[in-house]
Amino acid sequence: MSWIRTLVTTCLLSCALLSAAVVSAAPKDSKAQKALKEAMEDDYLLTNFDDAEAKLRGALETCGASGCSKSVKSKLYVGLGIVLAGGKKDKAGGTDAFKEALKLDSNATPDPDYVTSEVKAAFEAAKKGGGSSGSSGSPGGDSGSGGSKPANSEDSPITLNELSEQKVNTPVPVYVGVEDDSVKVASVTVTYIPVGSSSSKKLELEKSGRGFRGNIPCASVAKKGSLKFWVTAKDKGGKVVGSLGSDSDPYTTAIKSDVDGKPPSWPGFAPPEACAGTSEDGGGDNGESGATRRQCTEDKDCPGDEKCANFECLKKPTEGGDSGSEPEGGDTGSDDDGPSSDRLNWIRITFAPDFAMISGESICGFQDAYADGGPSVANDATYVCIKNPTSENPSRYLGQATAGQGNNVNFGFGVATMRILASYDRVVWKGLSLGARLGFVFNGTYEDFASFIPFHGEGRITYTIGSEPWSGKQVVRPWFFVGGGFAQVDASVNVDVLEDGEACGAENPGDTTSACSIESADGVLEPRIQTLRAVKQAGLGFAGGGAGISFVPADLFEINLGLKFSVTFPFVMPVLSPEAGIGFGF
């Protein structure tokens, strides 16, 4: 029977090994491995280094704290190190990525096919403990020189961007990601202790995509030292569903005169600018006369006359080699009240033609044009009909048209009045703004016998879509609005009329060539057939709404395109008005 026991033992051991293999494969490993393959074999070899870095960082974010096995995460960091050190020539970033890889797998090593002198140097530095301070954004472990992370950072359902160090007098950009779809986070609070203080403050982060973000303000990091903080995430009911650190085991961010590697930032954004002025312990000019010394990752993060060098904005050298002496004016940072670069006041100039929807039957003339006492009952009081409209002496039609013969306008759009408008809008809350418009209206009917008021007055409530629509970072701003006010709309169309032969005294009323023998109220014999210009006059009030989009090539200038639909009253007419204009913010 010993062979039976041997067989049973073998089966049990095989099942155990198979189960262990299945368990060891984390749920997001396959997706991460696919991203690694695409980043290295496609993007990296085609020198698309930015795309390769983005895919690898995205895969690491997807893995989160526990979504991938350590071996797979280690391979992702190795790939990231190769891209940063070998492709983007960022030795510090590459070293940090390799350090994270070695923490997860001490046997990790770069693929020999990708090893260059830069990759080799960064990997050797990682093995010796060099690099910046963990700029690769690992969710756990020692963050490097100056900063530290709490013990619970590995097993939390929320993650934090890399914040091991920040430059003095510069906002600390906090981004908390929610990687576990089963955890429903409604709010995230950062509790922090400013440098040199013993009391704590709270910062409520704002929702941004799948995460939350905010800035610890300059006033809390105005001098060198250690910033301490911890993060708490709650659901709609106020229950804590995730945390990073605590008051007894907080995160620490080293606040330094200069950061060693890439400055911290929200994902997809440039690092924040230094606040205006010079801090107590650094952050001033430092020998670069007139330079803003904003933190940066590339030249486009800097003003036009500066370049990004060692993650700082410094003056571009002139032809004579001088770095310049004129400072870049204006506030370059933010304070406790939020970003000072937001432009909350807007002056706009807009051109808006009107296209009116018009129709009608028996619109011109009077029902009693030839009666004693003159005409008094108009066919349609909202229309003014004009004879000889292109002549030097146009006049109002006071005749009597034959019922059922022409004198109709089929439903359709007619070109109407046009407007030049000046407006002022004030942002009152996030994307919500209140505004007023005043303008001049032309292309109306100015004849003595027709009343036209060439004035436009309007109030508007507008909502602009976007997380930071006024900061200058959002190049395209969609918006929609409702409004109303005072305006007149005139729309004209040509109509043919047949003078009533019996009323005008024609000898043979049924013959259109038989002329009238009785003068109309303006003292003329009306032609039996004539073409009139019928002007629909509507207003003087209106209400409506619409939508549009603004293109923002510079944070203080915008180009606007929109479409408004409105209805006039008490004389009702639907109006469609495309709008085009420009705006200036301050």
pLDDT digits (tens, 9 = 90+) for 466-508: 887 887 778 899 999 999 999 999 988 899 999 999 889 888 9
At residue 424, the pLDDT reads: 97
At residue 179, the pLDDT reads: 75
At residue 464, the pLDDT reads: 94
pLDDT higher than 50, residue 15: no
Arithmetic mean of pLDDT over the chain: 81
The verdict on 77 and 200 lying in the same domain is no
CATH number, position 574: 2.40.160.20
For residue 277, being part of any structural domain is answered with no
- The better pLDDT of the pair 289, 179 is held by 179
At residue 312, the pLDDT reads: 67
pLDDT higher than 70, residue 11: no
At residue 423, the pLDDT reads: 96
At residue 339, the pLDDT reads: 39
- The better pLDDT of the pair 290, 548 is held by 548
Ranked by mean pLDDT, which of 115-129, 255-269, 402-416, 542-556 comes out on top? 542-556
Distances (CA, A) of 234 to 151, 183, 237, 391: 20, 10, 8, 76
The verdict on 379 and 492 lying in the same domain is yes
For residue 10, being part of any structural domain is answered with no
Which of 201, 231, 256 corresponds to the end of one domain? 256
The verdict on 157 and 234 lying in the same domain is yes
Where helices occur in 420-577 by DSSP H, the ranges are: 501-504
pLDDT higher than 80, residue 570: yes
The verdict on 219 and 360 lying in the same domain is no
The verdict on 374 and 471 lying in the same domain is yes
At residue 578, the pLDDT reads: 96
With beta carbons less than 8 A apart as the criterion, state whether 546 and 568 touch: no
Q: Tell me: the pLDDT tens digits for 277-286?
A: 544 544 444 4
| Distance from C-alpha of 367 to C-alpha of 374, rounded to nearest angstrom | 10
pLDDT higher than 50, residue 16: no
Q: What angle do CA 312, 315, 321 make, to 5 degrees?
A: 135
Residue ranges making up the domain that contains 104: 27-127
Q: Tell me: the pLDDT tens digits for 21-52?
A: 444 456 788 888 888 999 998 889 888 888 88
At residue 146, the pLDDT reads: 56
475-503 per-residue burial string, b: 16 or more CB within 10 A, e: under 16: eebebebebbbebbbbbbbebebbbbbeb
At residue 145, the pLDDT reads: 45
The verdict on 103 and 159 lying in the same domain is no
Pairing mode, strands 306-309 and 312-315: antiparallel
* Inter-axis angle of helices 29-38 and 70-82, nearest 10: 20
| Distance from C-alpha of 430 to C-alpha of 583, rounded to nearest angstrom | 18
The verdict on 156 and 103 lying in the same domain is no
For residue 291, being part of any structural domain is answered with no
Distances (CA, A) of 27 to 66, 74, 153: 9, 16, 20
CATH number, position 190: 2.60.40.10
The residue written with tokens 């400013």 in the block is: 194
The verdict on 470 and 581 lying in the same domain is yes
For residue 2, being part of any structural domain is answered with no
| Distance from C-alpha of 295 to C-alpha of 292, rounded to nearest angstrom | 9
With beta carbons less than 8 A apart as the criterion, state whether 377 and 362 touch: no
Q: Tell me: the pLDDT tens digits for 340-377?
A: 457 889 999 999 999 998 888 888 999 888 888 778 88
**Mean pLDDT on 392-420:** 87
pTM over 0.75: no
For residue 4, being part of any structural domain is answered with no
At residue 137, the pLDDT reads: 38
With beta carbons less than 8 A apart as the criterion, state whether 255 and 229 touch: no
Structure confidence at residue 310 as a pLDDT band (50, 70, 90): low
Beta-carbon contacts of residue 466 (< 8 Å; ≥ 6 apart): 431, 474, 477, 478
pLDDT higher than 50, residue 335: no
For residue 367, being part of any structural domain is answered with yes
At residue 445, the pLDDT reads: 82
The verdict on 123 and 167 lying in the same domain is no
At residue 20, the pLDDT reads: 43
- The better pLDDT of the pair 76, 267 is held by 76
At residue 301, the pLDDT reads: 67
Q: Tell me: the pLDDT tens digits for 46-81?
A: 888 888 888 888 888 788 777 788 888 899 999 998
pLDDT higher than 70, residue 287: no
**Mean pLDDT on 405-425:** 89
Which of 208, 224, 256 corresponds to the end of one domain? 256
**Mean pLDDT on 573-579:** 93
For residue 200, being part of any structural domain is answered with yes
At residue 465, the pLDDT reads: 92
Q: What angle do CA 26, 30, 32 make, to 5 degrees?
A: 90
Domains of the chain: total: 3
pLDDT higher than 90, residue 459: yes
**Mean pLDDT on 96-120:** 87
Which of 256, 289, 309 corresponds to the end of one domain? 256
The verdict on 53 and 196 lying in the same domain is no
With beta carbons less than 8 A apart as the criterion, state whether 573 and 542 touch: no
For residue 283, being part of any structural domain is answered with no
The verdict on 546 and 400 lying in the same domain is yes
The verdict on 159 and 205 lying in the same domain is yes
- The better pLDDT of the pair 62, 252 is held by 252
User: HSE on the CB side for 313, CA within 13 Å?
Assistant: 24
pLDDT higher than 50, residue 321: no
CATH number, position 62: 1.25.40
Partners of 231 in the β-ladder: 190, 244
- The better pLDDT of the pair 157, 322 is held by 157
**Mean pLDDT on 311-326:** 57
Q: Tell me: the pLDDT tens digits for 149-202?
A: 776 566 678 888 888 899 888 899 999 988 777 888 899 999 999 988 878 899
Q: Tell me: the pLDDT tens digits for 517-545?
A: 998 888 889 999 999 998 888 888 999 99
| Distance from C-alpha of 472 to C-alpha of 169, rounded to nearest angstrom | 22
